Amino acid sequence: MGKLPFREIHLDFHTNETIKNIGERFDPEEFAQTLKKAHVNSVTLFARCHHGMIYYDSKKNPERVHPNLMNKNLLKEQIEACRKVGIRTPVYTTVQWDYYTSQRHREWLCIDENGQSIGESGRKQEPFEAGFYETLCLNTGYREFLKEHVEEILDTFEVIDGLFLDIVFPVPCACPACRKLMEQNGYNPLDRGDRLEFYKKTIDEWQREMTEFIHSKSENTTIFYNRGHVGTDQRRNGDTYTHYELESLPSGIWGYLHFPSTVRYARNLGKEYLAQTGKFHTMWGDFHSYKNQAALEFECFHMLAMGAKCLIGDQLNPDGRLSPAVYDLIGKVYEQVEEKEAWCDDVKPAVEIGVFTAEEFVGASNDNLPKSLQGAVRMLQECAFQFDVVDTQSDFAKYRLLILPDQIPVDPLLADKLSVYLENGGKVIFTCKSGLTPDEASFALDIGVTKRAEQPVDVYGEDVVGKIYDRGDYCQYILPGDVIGKDLPKDYHVMYARGVDVDAKEGANVLVNAYASVFDRDYQHFCSHRQSPCSGEIAQPAVVQNGNSIYFSHPVFTQYQYNAPLWCKKMVKDAVCLLLQERIITHNGPSALLTAVNDQPAQNRRIVHLLHYIPERRCESIDVIEDVLPVYNIECSVEVPGEVKGVYCQPQNVPLEYRSEKERVIFHVPEVNGHQIVEVRLS
């Protein structure tokens, strides 16, 4: 199959069947040359869209060919024109969303326990809602239709570089077909959790069948099943993918934190991966809109820094002609990507920390990642730590430090794995409920604390630990110490969200104490507008070190994602530095300066990426990047695995002065104008 190209386009073509003159302005040569001029080397083209319309001369389903398609060979001519100029052409088809099918085969729909069809994000599809989001069930006759449709694609076109099968996600379906199969296989159809787990199994089996079928006919075709998010669920069926495509449009529902949170996990799943953004100002289907060039640069250069190939989403106008303005914008960015590729190919991230995601315990989606993970990713990025996102199945040995943020339960298997890791010299930070057994009765490991029998509750007797209250109702306070919070004022700092009440074990080192407020805020007693002031009375330990582990009792990462207290970040940074001792990279730039360190073993060099772009909330709905704000004279100190031969700004190939100290190299970067690659050549 070969390696994925660096500069890809996903060309949506969801086109309503009533629109006239489809493809009237399509010219094969102009189409291909527009892409070529924009430095594109792969474009995903449409066989069938969410409206259920087909864009080739289908013999099996001629009734589904778009009725106003002026050239039934549109897809064929798109593919042929692109291949003539060396552009790869994967083919798109839809899976669970198809308006034509959903209107004609109501018996093929996923339905909920109330008999309502299941729509986007698993919610009920309203009867007068515009959209093609009613979900089709893979346990109905639709399954055979899909197989025949994919077979026709493979038989119709001489070469299929890849297949992108879109909208493949589990829903708690209660249709007759699912209920019957659940009962036959020991699942309880009345239980929503059982229905969801059964549908995950359905998808696993269907993807394996489909991958085997595709490769039996075209063994070199790449395959990706899209659900808008790549995460821990891909452990179940990773063998069905040839690669991963990380859909993450920051101006859509994903936001700017989804991509780094996801790619740092996906890059360890053992497959090549690319990342998707869009040319749209907002989201898919945003016709005649344009992303700011600075934003598109950041999104693509961030992909490169994370070791990903780049993909930009677009939607072809119904007339079949690519927008010159769009491809002028894309070309300006992809020209720069092409210049940088040599320092981004076949890289391995240099990492020091593994951060657990709670996704395998609480689930996640494209717009709903665990807040504890988001806070950890945000905080560690700002501190320039080099890290992966991991789960319980990851290889811990590659990390000097593991962080279990706020809500990671530890069962006996994970406890044994962590014990071995600690015995071998690994370091671990636990926060809040992380480290507790799944029933939260006690800590699964000896981390220097015990959980008190009495835990904080609200006036209704409900647990308040780890929860965010807008007015800090159940807060505590900390007094920074000489080790943790060493650069903070030696005065009380509020911890808005309540942590686990613990006691330190004998021999453990209490680094910071927690202090009680005068009283919790409720209708019976409150003070001023928000949380009550500090009482000055020690309530419990807040930060405890026990050998190679440090425990924070408060949910510092969830809190940071909520309102970003600087003191939370500084305390975590102090704890990480205390355990790590040496870091892969440090710099004297602003916290908005993102860093990534990669190795290219074949070229014997270490690659440093510096990115300085600042998303701003200039409107109610999305973050915007309009300007590139250069930063100057950035000093970097980078750990190196060998003797340094030279340091160069790339792709400018400008040498930098440097000095070596022990196992580090120190250099100054004169200017970071958005993105700068620094190559450290090794002997």
- The pLDDT tens digits of the residues spanning 621-649 come to 999 999 999 999 999 999 999 999 999 99
Under the banding of pLDDT at 50, 70 and 90, the label for residue 467 is: very high
From the CB of residue 225, how many other CB atoms can be counted at a distance below 10 Å?
A: 23
Opening angle at CA 149, ends 143 and 150, nearest 5 = 95
Asked if the model's pLDDT at residue 129 lies above 90, the reply is: no
Report the distance separating Cα 520 and Cα 475, nearest Å: 7
Residue pLDDT, tens place only, 312-359: 999 999 999 999 999 999 999 999 999 999 999 999 999 999 999 999
Q: pLDDT category, 121, cuts 50, 70, 90?
A: confident
Q: What is the pLDDT of residues 213-268, one digit of tens each?
A: 999 999 999 999 999 999 999 999 999 999 999 999 999 999 999 999 999 999 99
pLDDT at residue number 358: 96
- pLDDT tens figures, 297-311: 999 999 999 999 999
pLDDT at 1 (0 to 100): 60
Distance of CA 309 to the CA centre of its chain: 15
Task: Quote the CATH superfamily of domain 350-578.
Answer: Class I glutamine amidotransferase (GATase) domain (3.40.50.880)
- How do residues 526-548 score in pLDDT, each as one tens digit? 999 999 989 999 999 999 999 99
Length of the chain: 683
Split at pLDDT 50, 70, 90, the class of 365 is confident
**Token pair listed for 309:** 């190939």
Place of tokens 């006690």: 442
Quickly count: other Cβ atoms within 10 Å of residue 630's Cβ.
11
Residue 6 has pLDDT above 70, yes or no: yes
Q: How many helices (H) and strands (E) does the chain have?
A: 15, 29
* Helix 556-563 and helix 371-382, axial crossing angle in degrees, nearest 10: 80
Average pLDDT taken over every residue of the chain:
97
pLDDT of residue 363: 85
Side-by-side strand order, sheet with 42-46: 222-226, 162-166, 91-94, 42-46, 7-12, 309-315, 273-278, 244-247
At residue 364 the predicted structure's pLDDT band, cuts being 50, 70 and 90, is: confident
Q: What pLDDT, on the 0 to 100 scale, is given for residue 357?
A: 97
C-alpha torsion angle, residues 254, 260, 261, 262 (rounded to 10): 80
Sheet of strand 534-546: strand arrangement: 387-390, 353-356, 401-404, 427-431, 549-552, 534-546, 509-517, 476-478, 493-495
Q: Which two tokens stand for residue 527?
A: 């003070």
pLDDT at residue 153 is higher than 70? yes
For tokens 């060998």, the residue is 642
Average pLDDT, integer, range 423-444: 98
| Separation of alpha carbons 261 and 389, rounded Å | 7
**Domain 5-94+142-167+224-344 class, CATH top level:** alpha beta
Spatial neighbors of 108 by CB under 8 A, at least 6 apart, are 101, 102, 136, 137, 140, 141, 142
pLDDT recorded at residue 273? 98
**Mean pLDDT within 432-442:** 98
Q: How is the chain split into domains, by residue range?
A: 5-94+142-167+224-344, 350-578, 584-680
- Which residue shows structure tokens 């100002």? 281
Contact status, residue 527 vs residue 521, Cβ threshold 8 Å: yes
Strand partners, 516: 476
pLDDT for the residue 124: 81
Task: Write the CA distances from 188 to 107, 181, 194, 575, integer angstroms.
Answer: 21, 10, 6, 47
CATH 3.30.390.50 is right for the domain spanning 584-680: no
Chain centroid to CA 6: 19
Tens-digit pLDDT profile for residues 54-72: 999 999 999 999 999 999 9
- Over residues 79-106, the mean pLDDT reads 98
The model scores a pTM over 0.85: yes
CA distances from 588 to 614, 637, 671 (A): 17, 9, 13
In which band, very low, low, confident or very high, does the pLDDT at 367 lie, cut at 50, 70 and 90? confident
